[in-house]
């Protein structure tokens, strides 16, 4: 167990931040899907509008949502996440 005097190692701070980013992306995906699927899909089927042969709620929640999430994940991986070594760095605090 770590004492209060030991600072948290830099790579663990980065991993924690990146885990929160991953959770945020998952939450965005669920909100996007739920909003379009139940927002547009709650009408009777006779009132549906269609995009490329799919009901609009399905196209926007499942197909467009997938494309949007792929783009978001690509951008986050490319510009936000950092490459962190698994090896102990010299001068870093050892968590053991």
- pLDDT the model gives residue 94: 53
**Residues recorded for the chain:** 96
- More reliable by pLDDT, 75 or 39: 75
Q: How many CB atoms lie within 10 A of CB 96?
A: 5
The model's pLDDT over 34-71, given as tens digits with 9 standing for 90+, comes to 999 998 888 899 999 999 999 999 999 999 999 999 99
Greatest mean pLDDT among 2-11, 34-43, 56-65, 77-86 lies in: 56-65
Q: What is the DSSP string of 33-53?
A: HHHHHHHHTTS-GGG--EETT
Which of these, 25, 11, 7, lies nearest to 82 by C-alpha position?
11
């Amino acid at each position: 167990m770590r004492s209060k005097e030991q600072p948290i190692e830099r790579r663990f701070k980065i991993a924690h931040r990146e885990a929160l980013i991953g959770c945020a992306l998952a939450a965005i995906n669920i909100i996007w899907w739920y909003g379009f699927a139940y927002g547009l899909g709650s009408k009777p089927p006779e009132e549906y509008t269609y995009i490329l042969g799919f009901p609009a709620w399905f196209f926007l929640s499942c197909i467009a949502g997938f494309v949007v999430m792929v783009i978001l994940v690509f951008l986050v991986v490319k510009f936000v996440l950092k490459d962190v070594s698994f090896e102990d760095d010299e001068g870093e605090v050892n968590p053991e």
